[in-house]
Amino acid sequence: NAGVTQTPKFQVLKTGQSMTLQCAQDMNHEYMSWYRQDPGMGLRLIHYSVGAGITDQGEVPNGYNVSRSTTEDFPLRLLSAAPSQTSVYFCASSDRSSGDYGYTFGSGTRLTVV
């Protein structure tokens, strides 16, 4: 099991560019989420999904899109990058069927928008 895999690990974008952060898990987890972590702010939920074909907005969804066409993949799209989106992005997944609702996190993508 690879767990939760995020790519790329580092990215520099110019303002206005678009890109997709990839997230894949091989644990057949139903729930997946995207968070951003900024200094002094803690982790904040961007979008989440409770299963393939189902997504919903979290606390800070503006400027981001998601889709969940398969159980394994949950990509995060930045539509038009802004310096305020400079952050560390974490993807996470959870197996609800086990009764333990803890999330497993990927190693993160460090994004800088210049």
Partner 1 sequence: RKEVEQDPGPFNVPEGATVAFNCTYSNSASQSFFWYRQDCRKEPKLLMSVYSSGNEDGRFTAQLNRASQYISLLIRDSKLSDSATYLCVVEGSSNTGKLIFGQGTTLQVKP
Residues engaged in binding partner 1 (CB under 8 A): 31, 33, 35, 40-45, 48-50, 58, 90, 92, 94, 96, 100-108
Taking the complex as a whole, how short is the minimal distance between the CB of residue 102 and partner 1, in angstroms?
4
Taking the complex as a whole, how short is the minimal distance between the CB of residue 80 and partner 1, in angstroms?
26
Class of residue 22 by CB neighbours under 10 A (exposed 0-12, middle 13-18, buried 19+) = middle
100 contacts: CB under 8 Å, gap ≥ 6 = none
Query: E strands within the chain?
Result: 4-7, 10-13, 19-25, 31-38, 42-51, 54-57, 64-66, 76-78, 87-94, 103-105, 109-113
Query: Could you give phi then psi for residue 88, rounded to 5 degrees?
Result: -105, 125
Taking the complex as a whole, how short is the minimal distance between the CB of residue 103 and partner 1, in angstroms?
6
Query: Which residue, 86 or 105, is less far from partner 1 as judged by CB?
Result: 105
Query: Which residue, 25 or 106, is less far from partner 1 as judged by CB?
Result: 106
Query: Which residue, 64 or 90, is less far from partner 1 as judged by CB?
Result: 90
Taking the complex as a whole, how short is the minimal distance between the CB of residue 19 and partner 1, in angstroms?
20
Q: How many residues does the chain have?
A: 114
Query: Which residue, 33 or 85, is less far from partner 1 as judged by CB?
Result: 33
